[in-house]
Every structure is written in structure tokens, then in C-alpha cells.
Amino acid sequence: MTSETATPTPREDGRADDELRPIKITRGWLDHAAGSVLVEFGKTRVLCAASASEGVPRWRKGSGQGWVTAEYSMLPASTHTRSDRESVKGRIGGRTHEISRLIGRSLRAVIDYDAMGENTIQLDCDVLQADGGTRTAAITGAYVALVDACASLGVAGALTGSVAAVSVGIIDGTPRLDLPYVEDVRAETDMNVVMTGTGAFVEVQGTAEGAAFDRRELDALLDLAQKGCADLTELQRVALGA
């Protein structure tokens, strides 16, 4: 990491600025799903289930290709203050849509549709507890569940690589890795980065929450994210016993 991290303000949880929270990846947390993972980034806890089924959506029939899609949701009591259920409101909010689409795109980046055959894998990422970084935890965990689901379908070769994701942000002028809620709400700039296991970018989504950021700050955040994703890739490998 660069010298920006040498800031005198320490993180509440004592981590270094370029250090991930304690990460826990528990495979096989459910009995029915083809793949399932309880992924924890500190207090953030997301249940990622991959359901495999034969056949593909109508628009893809006869193509010989498979399909991977994802849905993200938060349990009402997962947040600091209870949130209303989207099923009760009768409509899915913009944020939920946005994150579901992000997860789907991220996983499809490492899928060879032809090698899947006409099978569908549906990822469900349900946030049991939210403490910042739920979408990046979801992507990181969902990849592991996807590996197990591909294996259960007998199409392990459909995976062309791995993906992991992490959040980075600038807090009080300091770039930091893997923001918990208390840092997330104070961040001037917030970025989610999805990368392959070989270090290429799949998604870069940066937003100025407070002040706009310059190119130098952007570069520092990208450096941090590259380190975080590399660390997560290694943890995924360990969890998969690969």
C-alpha cells in the first residue's frame, strides 16, 4: 500500500487500512441447494445458495448454452434499524435490483455458457446480517457456491476463472479496504471492485458520496482493491480445498 495509509487515525476495529475483516466461508450450509455458502466479512453475514436446474429460460432454448442469474435480498432484521420487506411493499427497490444485476454480471464473467449445456444456475444471496460490504461479500461467497453447483451438475469445466469482490473507500482522506458500516457512512468516496482470480477487472463502481475525487485518489483505491481481491481469491481457494 501507498503512504496514504500511514494516517494517524486508527480504524475502530484496529485493522490496518489495507487489511480485510475476518473472513469466514462455510460451504454446504444448506441441505437442498446444489451449492451453498455462509460467507462472513466481519459481522456481515450472507447466505449464498446456488440452485441448479435443467433447462434454460425461453429466450435461450435450443442454443445449447446455459444461464446463470442472481437475486439479492436483505432480511428485514439484518439492518441496524428494521427495513420493510420488499414482498410486503409489493415492489423491489432500485438498490436491490442494482445489486442483483451486479452479482449476476460478475458471476457470468467467469462462465463458459457452452460448457454448461442447457442448464440454469440461480444464485440467491440473502443478507442475514448487514454491516457494510454486503454486495461484495455476496459475490465472493456466491462464486464458491457456484463452483459446487457446477460440480453437482457435472460441468465443473464451465468455470473459466474465479471472481471476488471488495469495497474500498476514502475516510477522512485515507483510502481503506473493506469498509464496515461505521466507515461506509462516513466515506467521502465509496467504490466496489470485482476482480478475477488472475487480477483483471470485472466491475469498477465508484461513487463520490461527499466531494468528487481526483485521479490520484482513484488510483490509490484501485491499488487497495487489487490487494483485497487477491487476498479473497486465496481464501476462496482454501475454502474450496483447491
Q: Which is nearer to a copy of itself, 9 or 225 (CB)?
A: 225
Binder among 12, 59, 212, 242 for a copy of itself (CB under 8 A): 212
Q: What is the rounded CA–CA span in Å between residue 115 and residue 23?
A: 31
Is 161 annotated in some ligand binding site?
no
Q: Which is nearer to a copy of itself, 196 or 233 (CB)?
A: 196
Site for a copy of itself contains 235 (CB under 8 A): no
Residue 26: closest CA among 14, 18, 38: 38
Give me the least distance between CB of 127 and a copy of itself, in Å please: 11
Q: Distance between CA 122 and CA 103 in Å, rounded? A: 11
134 labelled ligand-binding = yes
Query: For the chain, how far is it from start to end, CA to CA, in angstroms?
Result: 28
Instruction: Please state, in angstroms and rounded to a whole number, the distance separating the CA atoms of residues 114 and 17.
Output: 41
Which of 237, 102, 222 has its CA nearest to residue 162? 237
Q: Which of 84, 88, 68 is closest to 76 using CA atoms?
A: 84
Flag whether 95 is marked binding. yes
Q: Does 80 bind a copy of itself (CB under 8 A)?
A: yes
CA distance 149 to 234: 20
Q: Which of 5, 71, 115, 118 binds a copy of itself (CB under 8 A)?
A: 71
Query: Binding pattern to a copy of itself, positions 154-193, x when CB under 8 A?
Result: -------------------------------------x--
Which positions from 90 through 109 interact with a copy of itself, judged by CB under 8 A? 90-98, 100-101, 105, 109
The Cα-based distances of 64 to 61, 68, 113, 161, 177 in angstroms read: 7, 14, 8, 21, 41
| Positions in the binding site for a copy of itself (CB under 8 A) | 30-33, 36, 43, 47, 49, 51, 53, 71, 73, 75-82, 85-98, 100-101, 105, 109, 122, 124, 126, 128-129, 131, 191, 195-196, 198-208, 211-215, 218, 222, 226
List residues forming the annotated binding site for phosphate: 95, 133-135
